Amino acid sequence: MKRPLVFSFAVFCLAAVAQVAAAPVFVMKATTTNVPERIDLPEADAQAILNDAAEYPNEAPEAVACQKEDTYDATLDATYRLLCVRVQLAPGQEGLLVMGTGDYRGETDAPFWLFRKNQLVLKVRADEVNLLSQMSGGMQMIEAVHGKQQVERFAFNGRRYLKVGSSS
């Protein structure tokens, strides 16, 4: 049985609206090599990164710091350098998106930490992190892209971001 043309067009329009509603408003890729400005990493945020056992299974560095460009050189000192950028999570709600550089990076991925009011609200290792226009819990939803096919979606629950879905 053929579907009426109007029904098919309506389904197409709904699909298009869903894609637009979830369009990225900010993208940070693991291959990013510089950011617009150097940001002082708040002490609480730095401590959360230093306490990340997944990134430091043996021993954490002495310190971490944000930089403007990815110019990591392990011979310089024991400070791991990060790329940090301020992001709008909602109107009037700023966050700090931090990406590991240098030895932190894998072949195509990197660790990303997202802080809101000096609280770690998301940690993910991905090829890129997208802040979406779609909102949940008063904050923008987030996608973590892994390779060309896998996407994880995160929603804010009032305290932190939780994984709400994935696709391959």
- Residue range 127-161, pLDDT digits in tens: 999 999 999 999 999 999 998 889 999 999 999 99
Q: Using alpha carbons, select from 46, 28, 35 the residue that is nearest to residue 68.
A: 35
- Ordered by start, the domain boundaries in the chain are 24-167
Alpha carbon separation from 134 to 58, 90, 160 (Å, rounded): 39, 10, 16
Q: Using alpha carbons, select from 33, 45, 44 the residue that is nearest to residue 105.
A: 33
Percent of the chain with pLDDT over 90: 55
Whether this prediction's pTM lies above 0.75 is answered by yes
